[in-house]
Every structure is written in structure tokens, then in C-alpha cells.
Chain A
């Protein structure tokens, strides 16, 4: 559904959300309690709802801030920021390809040039073997809510997972720069932005199986109060200690949306991950 009526003479960010990207959210790989299974279903339905709202907003492009987990990129060449400017890309979970989706090269190119002008030296990729779960999982569920509307997906890798990483403040500022660039654009795209990852979890470490509910609730409370800039002053020492290392992608999306608050669609402190989906309120 396209919004007609008011003259559209510039690209626009029409809304945004953030939520987890764990492969477990795509499909539960181990047997779990009925409670876990039903909470997981509730979580997935939040993403479906995000997709429905995205459709209502008439969005035609989904810009996804996420961090590659050493699957798309290797330490032979590991970028801090990489914007996909190609025609289309495959999306996989654990390398098993699930979907091939159209991107938006014209818009992405404009964004790339604009961001470099703004002082963000973002790399680009016109061809990629595939993107994995940090991009695939939220997009998979959101597109179920979007239904048959024609949506293009533009992945934006921002490294929050292999040290040294893009600082939270920089992520937030990146989002704000994305907004400025799109506001200047003469293109008619209606862009919806998501940030993927989090909240507390410690994959691959001996801390896996614990979460930090207190830290998660602090983050959500700061966002509710609209204190995104203050929140982005945290460092990776605190983020790593609380398992919230992926907060940067949320902050980038919040900056792009110019969020004033969040609607917490779900917060579920599971044994292995503090799972949350938020809707950015303007």
C-alpha cells in the first residue's frame, strides 16, 4: 500500500523498530519447555506485527542495521561499516540459504555517497555471497507481516561483535546521519529502519546461559524516556559485561528514526537471552 495524496518529493524514514536476530528466533533447534515455546511464538508475532505496521506506513524499503558474525566477512577483510549497494542478495541461517531479496541500489548509492560526505567512511558491497542470521532472522518474520507488498531490503553491516568495534555513540550518530542524507534526497522511497541483536546474551563464551535482566531493563527504561544520546555514552566494557554488545545496531536505528521513546512490544528474560522487540516512537 502506497500513501498517495501529499506530494512525495523526498525520501523519508517512515518508522523503525529493533529486536533480536538469534537463529533460535528463526527456528528452535532444541526441545524446550511449553512456556519457552509460547514466549518464542509471542516474540515472533511481535516481528509480524512490525511488518504489518510497516505495510500500513507504506514503506517500500527496509534498511537493516546488523553486525555480521564472521559468516559474510572473514578476518581476511573485516569491515567496520559496510552498506550493500547491489541489486539483490541471498539470506541464510548458518549458511543455509532461505530467501533471495531485492535490494535498493539507487537509494543505497545515494546513502553511501551522502554518508561519506557526512564524514562516515562507509564501505560498500555490490555483490555478496549471502547475509546470515543478523539480517535474515528479523527480516524473515517481518516480511510475513508485510505480506505481498513489494519491499526492498538494504543490509547495513555495523561491527559491534569483533573488537575493536564501532562505538555506541558513533552508531547513534551514524543513524542520525542516515536520516539527514535521506531527508536531502529527492528520491521518493519510504524507508523503514530496523536494528538487530540483543539484548543480554553471551554467545560462544563461558557466560552463555546467563543474562543481565537489570541491564536490559535499564536500557529499555532509558529508551522509554527518550535518553538515546545518554544511553549511547556507554562503552564496550559495560556492554560486554552485560551481554549487550549489540546495542549499537539498535542505536543506529533509533538515530535514523529520530526516536523520542519506545514502545516495548515484548521483553522476555529467557535463560539464554534477554529477548526484546521495541517500536521506535517519534
Chain B
């Protein structure tokens, strides 16, 4: 049996603004367009804090995961928000492909 914490986790309430942004990005092509044009304006409108905005703009999906952001929202924020997909090259570049290695 492999020991890992819940991966597809409950969305922590403190991330509600980030989650709302990801939801909108994930579902709405026009919203994605607006975000790509002016991410700061869109994030200001949704009330994201400076820290949250920096996290989104960093596109650091590994850090988002470690901070507790819901994975499907991370997918939207790291890839869809920037019109990209997690190809082999992209995931290598962004430090994905972490292995679940701890076996008990």
C-alpha cells in the first residue's frame, strides 16, 4: 500500500478566490481571453490578494499543489489560463512528473 495524502482534495476555503478564478478559466473561453489580455485586471476584479496573484502568475503548479489548491483548478490555472497543455516538454520544464515512491 502506498502512503499519500488525499490528492483530489477538498478545496480549502482560504483558496476560494483562486478557485473561482480557475473555475472561470476552465469553463469560459471569453474569460480566458480576457485573462490572457490583462491577468491583473481580471484578478483584481475577483479580489485576489497580491500574494494570490503572484502565485497564479508564477504558474508554479507544484507549489500550488503543496499549498493545497485543488488539482483541477491547478490544471486550469497553469495550462488553460495561458492557452497551453501539459505536453511532455511542458511538464519537464515546470517540474512535474513527481513520483509516488513511498511504499509501506
Contact = CB atoms under 8 A, between A and B. Distances in A.
A236 B6 contact: yes
B99 A95 contact: no
Contact of B23 (A70, A130, A209, A238): A70
Contacts of A29: 85, 87
Given A96-B29, A206-B96, A241-B100, A162 B8 contact: yes
Interface size class of B (residues with CB under 8 A): 35 or more
Contacts of B97: 206-210
A69 interface: yes
A240 B86 CA distance: 20
Interface string A145-166: 0000000000000001111110
Contacts of B90: 30
Interface in A201-247: 202-210, 212, 236-238, 240-242, 245
Contacts, number: 129
Nearest to B6: A163
A104 B10 CA distance: 33
A130 B72 CA distance: 18
Interface string A262-282: 000000000110000000000
A156 B28 CA distance: 22
A36 to B, nearest CB: 9
Nearest to A159: B8
Interface in B61-77: 61-62, 65, 70-76
Contact of A162 (B22, B27, B72, B95): B72
A161 B7 CA distance: 9
A272 B70 CA distance: 19
Given A205-B65, A205-B74, A245 B99 contact: no
Interface string A11-33: 00000000000001000011110
B51 to A, nearest CB: 20
Contacts of B23: 70-71, 74-75
Given A75-B11, A95-B29, A245-B8, A203 B98 contact: no
Contacts of B41: none
A209 B88 contact: yes
A132 interface: yes
B48 to A, nearest CB: 15
B2 A241 contact: yes
A132 to B, nearest CB: 7
A242 B71 CA distance: 15
Given A71-B23, A75-B11, A94-B80, A204 B72 contact: yes
A174 B61 CA distance: 35
A162 B100 contact: no
A240 B26 CA distance: 22
Given A203-B71, A204-B61, A209-B86, A75 B16 contact: yes
A240 B88 contact: no
Contacts of B10: 162-164
12 contacts: A29-B87, A30-B90, A162-B70, A204-B65, A204-B72, A204-B75, A205-B74, A206-B95, A207-B100, A208-B86, A210-B98, A272-B88
Interface of A: 24, 29-32, 69-72, 74-75, 94-96, 130, 132, 160-165, 202-210, 212, 236-238, 240-242, 245, 271-272
Given A70-B70, A165-B8, A205-B65, 6 more contacts: A29-B85, A204-B61, A205-B98, A209-B91, A236-B6, A238-B1
